[in-house]
Amino acid sequence: MTTPPSSAGAVLVLVHGRSEQGRDPAVLRAQWLDALRTGVAAAGADPALPALADDAVRLPYYADVLETAVRDEQAATASDAATSPVSEPDLATLLGPPERREFVLAVLDEARRVAGVGDAEVRVLLAGDGHAVPDGPPAAAAPAALAPATLATAGALAVPDAAWLLAVLRALDRAVPGIGGLGIALLARDVHLYLHDERARAAVDDVVAAALPTDGPAVVVAHSLGSVVAFELLRTHPDRGRWAVPLLVTIGCPIAIGAVRAARAPLAVPGAVTRWRNARDVRDVVALQPLTGAVATVDEVEVENPAPGHHAAVGYLATAEVAGPVAAALGARPTGARAAQPTRFS
């Protein structure tokens, strides 16, 4: 890592996650900052910090350019709001080309195992749907080895792979109702799209890179897909040598998921970053694994995110473990009192 730069005068940069398309960026930034100020107070610091003023904080809004990339890739557009029952052709269109479906299948299989969804539960759902129950999970047996031909037939996922996938989505809906199987699948799709589609990645990177100052330090807080974006940007972008990030905070981060790690191994702290803190709720199925197993020097902390599904950004931002270090890096002074934290978020 680099020699620790001074954080004096640091700018706060917030990198949002997926499914924010069509929103007003100013409203999204205000919601994040409201939650962050709650966390700052909970940490015993003064939330009335100039660096936390709405007009001082940067939120690079890339959601619409990412959505455009998704729609441009697909011959038929598919709504992220799709709900069960989801048909096999719908899934084929929604998840993209065969190599992306392979990646999504691997992520879903890891997610359902972490969520406690066993093979037996999936087989019960398969039998209830009238499908012949396979001896084992075709998507789970060796996801990385599945040939594209086994995943796509006439533009749709092939049976029994599709039947198994649909059953896993339903099981995850029950196990993680705040996110659901489809939410996890779409996150995996977008992570793969960002990592492997050069046009999509360039469009997103251009937006986020423009928010990072080259004449002073930036404290970066990134959520979910945004943590993948921030990590990749800080380690590979041509301007990375001009950036100084005394603190990177990732929340609800999927980087330690097996399929994501494999796509970017070996993982290391980006050179521009002095300290990397990763906060996760162990019940957050998107943050499946701790980052310390992938990046030894990450400062890992477990928190309680009270939001439904335990994944929403505001639930993380309102914790003292997330907001306290951010406030300190921005120059906050302690007030001597720790405020009570909220119990729930919508």
Of 126-130, 144-148, 220-224, the least confident: 144-148
What is the structure's pLDDT at 155? 30
What is the structure's pLDDT at 82? 46
What is the structure's pLDDT at 33? 98
**Residue whose token pair is 């699948």:** 185
Q: Is the pLDDT of residue 98 over 90?
A: no
For residue 38, the SS3 value is helix
* Calpha distance 30→23 (Å, rounded): 12
Spatial CA neighbour of 20 closest among 77, 59, 74, 75: 59
pTM for the model stands at 0.84
**Residue whose token pair is 């890891």:** 110
Question: How do the domains of the chain map onto residue ranges?
Answer: 11-60+210-329, 83-194
Residue 152 phi, psi dihedral angles, 5° rounding: -140, 125
Q: Is the pLDDT of residue 293 over 70?
A: yes
Q: Is the pLDDT of residue 234 over 60?
A: yes
What is the structure's pLDDT at 76? 39
* Segment of 83-87, 97-101, 201-205 carrying the highest mean pLDDT: 201-205
What is the structure's pLDDT at 149? 31
What is the structure's pLDDT at 344? 38
pLDDT tens column, 23-48: 999 999 999 999 999 999 999 999 99
Q: Report the chain's C-alpha Rg in angstroms.
A: 20
Query: What mean pLDDT is predicted for residues 156-171?
Result: 68
| 152: confidence class by pLDDT, cuts 50, 70, 90 | very low
10 Å CB burial of residue 136 (0-12, 13-18, 19+) is exposed
CATH class of the 11-60+210-329 domain in this structure: alpha beta
Q: b/e for 255-283, b at 16 or more Cβ within 10 A?
A: bbbbbbbeebeebbbbebbbbbbbbbbee
Q: Is the pLDDT of residue 148 over 90?
A: no
What is the structure's pLDDT at 88? 54
> Cβ–Cβ contacts within 10 Å for residue 152, how many?
18
* Calpha distance 196→99 (Å, rounded): 10
Query: What mean pLDDT is predicted for residues 82-89?
Result: 48
Residue type (1 letter), 272: A
Angle at 16 between CA 15 and CA 22, to 5 degrees: 130
Q: What is the mean pLDDT of the chain?
A: 83
* Calpha distance 212→12 (Å, rounded): 9
Q: Is the pLDDT of residue 193 over 60?
A: yes
What is the structure's pLDDT at 81? 38
**More confident call, 130 vs 302:** 302
* Calpha distance 38→40 (Å, rounded): 5
Of 73-77, 87-91, 340-344, the least confident: 340-344
**More confident call, 268 vs 75:** 268
Long-range pairs, 296-305, Cβ under 8 A, ≥24: 297/1, 297/269, 298/269, 299/275, 301/277, 303/279, 305/252, 305/281
Query: What mean pLDDT is predicted for residues 73-102?
Result: 62
Instruction: Give the side-chain half-sphere CA count within 13 A for 192.
Output: 22
What is the structure's pLDDT at 210? 98
What is the structure's pLDDT at 3? 38
What is the structure's pLDDT at 87? 54
Of 78-82, 97-101, 216-220, 258-262, the least confident: 78-82
* Calpha distance 112→122 (Å, rounded): 10
Q: Is the pLDDT of residue 142 over 60?
A: no
Q: Is the pLDDT of residue 78 over 90?
A: no
CB 251 within 8 A of CB 227: yes
**Residue whose token pair is 């990198």:** 15
| 196: confidence class by pLDDT, cuts 50, 70, 90 | very high
